[in-house]
Amino acid sequence: MPSRRRLLLPLAALVVAASGAALYTPDRDRAALEARYLASPADLRLVDGVRLHVRDEGPRDAPAIVLVHGLGASLHTWDGWTQALRATYRVVRFDVPGHGLTGPEPTGDYGDARSRRLLRALLDSLELDRVTLVGHSMGGRLAWSFAAEHPERVERLVLVAPDGFASPGFEYDTPAEVPAVLGVMRWVLPAPLLRANLAPAYANPEAMHDTVARRYHDLMLAPGNREAMLARLRQTVLTNPEARLASITAPTLVLWGEDDGMIPVANAADYERLLPNVTVVRLPGLGHVAFEEAPARSLVPVRAFLERDGAP
């Protein structure tokens, strides 16, 4: 899903257009969504008071990889990488509260500190002491900030087009500016308009399959998810990340599509400058969701990083 920094104004404009046509879009039925997108009832786990949608695949005694998705996405965004990795790694992925089948955060707290506590509680519940942590966009911010706060839990770190630096409308130490008109999406979010907003996440929008576009739309319409996304945006307060990034000792891979239309690849230079133990790989011809657009090609540098002794 597009980063929040590029999401708001395009989606706001789309919502205005839709509301003019009175295209009311109600929530989807939860039971129907679970029938389509839940692999097993056992994947709904109670973690720190949250009914968390988690998939835990691969050999239990293998090195563990934990995947954290971006804003508006779900654990399904990692399907391609998971299918390739689960033969030799234990692969854990989950729907961040307010996304997918997890549903809203019961506490109403969508701040990063709460998200890090929930991630730590998930690792504890699965008895995972140290993991390779992978995060995309918003999930990238969660991943690197968790690695800075809990270095003992992160063996290696993979960041895919991560979020975290200030940009227009998202300044440090102040709540994000969320246009009031964006609240209309709570009632109006037709599938074609959401698909148009997703298209810039791909270097080649035609690579977005209809099943993927439908999944994004269905799960965005899960009960409570739209309100939760708005709450998360309003509660996001960025702080200057430089000192925390510089403190991260875990070997880190930064992966970025050169045609990223959501967070520009030029931002990779900030991570290259600040992270002490980093490898940066730029992927020609791919966009913000390189792991969806070209799972096999984008996974090549990740495999090399995971298999390298003392990476990078």
The predicted-structure confidence for 64-91, as pLDDT tens digits, reads as follows 999 999 999 999 999 999 999 999 999 9
Q: How far is CA 165 from CA 19, 72, 106, 267, 285, in A?
A: 32, 19, 28, 9, 24
pLDDT beyond 80 at 5 = no
The rounded mean pLDDT for the chain is 92
Give per-residue pLDDT as tens, 183-205: 888 899 999 989 998 999 999 99
Q: Given a cut of 60, is residue 15 above it in pLDDT? A: no
According to DSSP, residue 187 is labeled T
Torsion of Cα atoms, 303 then 305 then 306 then 312, to 10°: 170
Q: What is the DSSP string of 23-64?
A: ---PPPPHHHHHHHH-S-GGGEEEETTEEEEEEEES-TTSPE
Q: Which residues pair with 112 in a beta bridge?
A: none
Q: Omega before 312 cis (within 30°)?
A: yes
Contacts of 150 (CB under 8 A, 6+ apart): 116, 120
Mean predicted confidence (pLDDT) in 175-183: 79
Domain extents in the chain:
4-133+166-239
C-alpha radius of gyration, the chain, whole number: 18
- Cα(first)–Cα(last) distance of the chain, in Å? 28
* Res 19 pLDDT > 60: no
pTM summary value = 0.93
Note the pLDDT of residue 3.
44
Q: State the average pLDDT over residues 296-300.
A: 98
**Three-state secondary-structure class, residue 278:** strand
- E strand or H helix at 96: none
Pick the CATH number of 4-133+166-239 from 3.40.720.10, 3.40.50.10440, 3.40.50.1820, 3.40.980.10: 3.40.50.1820
- pLDDT of residue 29 exceeding 90, the answer is yes
Please state the separation of Cα 140 from the chain's center in Å: 7
